[in-house]
Amino acid sequence: MRGRASNKNNDMETVIQQKTIISDVKQKMSDILIAISWREIARTYFGKSSSWLYHKLDGIDGNGGAGGFTPEEAKQLKGALCDLSDRITSRSRFNLTLALFNLTLSVKAGQPAHGSQLWAFFIH
C-alpha cells in the first residue's frame, strides 16, 4: 500500500510504504489444521522452523507483536498446500485403482470379494 505526503518546506514528495501482512490464515484453515504436519511444511517449503510457521499462523512476529504472512509467503504457502493436495490425490487414485484391480482379479478367479479385504488394503 502506498501513500504520498508533501513536504511544505521544499516541495519534495515523500513516498510511504506500508508492509502488507495477512494475519487470518489460521482462521481460514481451521478445518485442516490438525490434519497437516506444519513442521514438515515449514522445513520442506520454507526452510524454516515449525515455531516460525506457527507464529505466522497465529499472526504474531517472533517478539510477540503483530505479524503474519507477507503476500509472497502466503503465495508460497498456497503452493505448498496445492503440492500436498496433488500428492495426496495422486496416491489415492493409485490405491483405488490397485484395489479395484485386485478385487476384479479375485472375482474372476471365483473367489468371493469381501469388503473387509478391500478395507484392509486401504488401511495398509
How does DSSP assign 27-43, residue by residue? HHTTTTGGGS-HHHHII
Q: Residue 25 carries which side chain, given as an amino acid letter?
A: V
CA distances from residue 45 to 24, 39, 76, 84, 102 in whole angstroms, order as listed = 20, 10, 8, 11, 36
Q: Cell digits for 111?
A: 473367489
Mean pLDDT, residues 31-52 taken together: 92
| Overall pTM surpassing 0.95 (yes/no) | no
Q: Are 70 and 21 in contact (CB under 8 A)?
A: yes
Task: Name the burial class of residue 57, with classes exposed (0-12), middle (13-18) and buried (19+) by CB atoms within 10 angstroms of its CB.
Answer: buried
Residue at grid coordinates 500500500: 1
Average pLDDT over residues 19-40: 87
Indicate whether 6 pLDDT > 80.
no
3-class SS string, 86-103: HHHHHHHHHHHHHHHHHH
Q: What pLDDT, on the 0 to 100 scale, is given for residue 101?
A: 62
Report whether pLDDT(124) > 50.
no
